[in-house]
Copies of this chain bind each other. A is one copy, B any other.
């Protein structure tokens, strides 16, 4: 590995001059700069980022903490799409990405803040965390570490936030069902520790209220965003509330489970039950029936999150919150209420 020292020796100038030449400072003669530049290319010199970081205190690296990086995460590629968005924007802005998983074991020994401190990332993007994750609170409140949260409402000087308009998305889903004539509409929600669940429930309520349909707590099931949870929820709905003709699910994955439950009991969607999901995962367009769902653009969310974080890091003061819109995609899992 050629270092700046080797280069200085070879060029017959000081280390300082090499550094300033290569970094485009104005106090070095254009001719010597050229000479140094070509020499550097010849010798294959690459500045050592570690040494540089040590003195500049910047690593041009952002930590990405995704809870969904695990084997199950593959089915819904939400985390992956987010990561792609983050990555693409990060590359454009010339930042690197350090991937932190949230393996339960590691969570115990080291908090995110510790991870970030140790590895000296300039900032972090967090996604898929529970609302009351203790480490999350630490990051947001105790440290003032720059970070961007995805789908977790929190803002402060150094904390940004990107999400989609979940209230509106959910309302659109439920309105679609109401427009099809459905009145008894159940909801399969995620879990209480997710901000999006609260928002989507809110949207569900709003849509019902606007249509003059009374809200019934009993029609709210929690499926934990899991396929299995959707299965059980649908089972419960069919047995406990046979009058229900439509379901709004807070995730497509849970719809897959719900469809299995329907089938198991000899029913089909949308004939027996209209279902609208959330996310528009890849499977949604291909499963049977293809799912009516609310599409959220996870790629864009990641992309915006990276942009927002870098804006914060480079002291461009713009808004701390970004809300993207979602879109109702009508496919064949919903149908008019047959009387």
Contact = CB atoms under 8 A, between A and B. Distances in A.
Interface in A30-83: 46-51, 53-54, 59, 61, 64, 69-71, 73-75, 77, 79-81, 83
A84 B75 contact: no
A91 B67 CA distance: 13
A283 B256 CA distance: 11
A166 to B, nearest CB: 21
21 contacts: A1-B117, A48-B118, A49-B118, A51-B54, A61-B98, A64-B99, A69-B84, A70-B88, A71-B81, A71-B84, A71-B88, A73-B84, A79-B80, A87-B99, A87-B101, A91-B103, A96-B98, A96-B119, A282-B282, A283-B286, A286-B286
A3 to B, nearest CB: 12
A27 B154 CA distance: 47
Contacts of A158: none
A97 interface: yes
B99 A99 contact: yes
A99 to B, nearest CB: 4
A3 B212 CA distance: 63
A114 interface: yes
Contact of A54 (B50, B85, B98): B50
Interface residues of A, number: 50
A300 to B, nearest CB: 10
A74 B100 CA distance: 20
Contact of A53 (B50, B61, B114, B288): B50
Contact of A97 (B81, B98, B106, B118): B98
A299 B84 contact: no
Interface of A: 1, 46-51, 53-54, 59, 61, 64, 69-71, 73-75, 77, 79-81, 83-85, 87-88, 91-92, 96-101, 103, 105-106, 114, 117-120, 256, 282-283, 286-288, 299
Contacts of A51: 54
A50 B91 CA distance: 21
A118 B47 contact: yes
A50 B120 contact: yes
Nearest to A97: B99
A81 B80 CA distance: 9
Nearest to A289: B288
A184 to B, nearest CB: 28
Given A53-B50, A73-B80, A106 B91 contact: yes
A309 B92 CA distance: 29
A74 B81 contact: yes
Contact of A100 (B96, B282, B288): B96
Contacts of A105: 91
B256 A286 contact: yes
A118 B46 contact: yes
A287 B285 CA distance: 9
Task: Name which of A73, A99, A114 has the most chain B CB atoms within 10 A of its CB.
Answer: A99
A52 to B, nearest CB: 9
Contacts of A286: 256, 283, 286-288
Contacts of A79: 80
A298 B88 CA distance: 23
